[in-house]
Structure 1
Amino acid sequence: MLIVTAAAPEGSSFDFVSRAFGPKIGVDEISVCGSAHCALAHYWSLKMNKCDFVAYAASRRSGKLKLHFDKEKQRVLLTGMAVTVMKGSVLV
């Protein structure tokens, strides 16, 4: 996976913007990638010296994510809106 990120412009309601690509798995662009944003929360916490972020995934479908990086536990809480596009079951 290739992740591109930048700090959001001054005055923006976002802290950072990103795009994610998966060319080796046959995905040109990932619309809103949760795992990428979990990694980015850690990265930006070091750069901005804070733990709470609002991120913008700048893909064609785009998305807004809220993130909290817990430094002590090294965990990320990621929240946002979602739409169910498919339901199913997996038997293990």
Structure 2
Amino acid sequence: MAAASKTCLPNAPHVWMAIQKSLLKNNDFAIVIENLTGYLEADGIGNDKAPVRACHRYLSNRTGQLDYKGAIEKGLPIGSGEIESVHRYII
């Protein structure tokens, strides 16, 4: 989401990011996905140069796994995709 924030609000990406994080932590992922929609890169742009599309796809494909509010209430850690996929390297 950090790379997408630079496209969505280039003058203050940290502000955009903070708002989206707050929404995610409240399980308002549908709003975050909608907020990304207006900034989606054109289909002709390669995935390596389309951070908004990558973020949109990541969140859209994982809506069943985005219970950040529940995880926080249970004292469980939440993290980025990099942290969530670390299991590939630990075993």
From the two aligned structures, give the one with the greater helix fraction.
Answer: 2
User: If the length of structure 2 is used for normalisation, what is the TM-score?
Assistant: 0.30
User: If the length of structure 1 is used for normalisation, what is the TM-score?
Assistant: 0.29
From the two aligned structures, give the one with the greater strand fraction.
Answer: 1
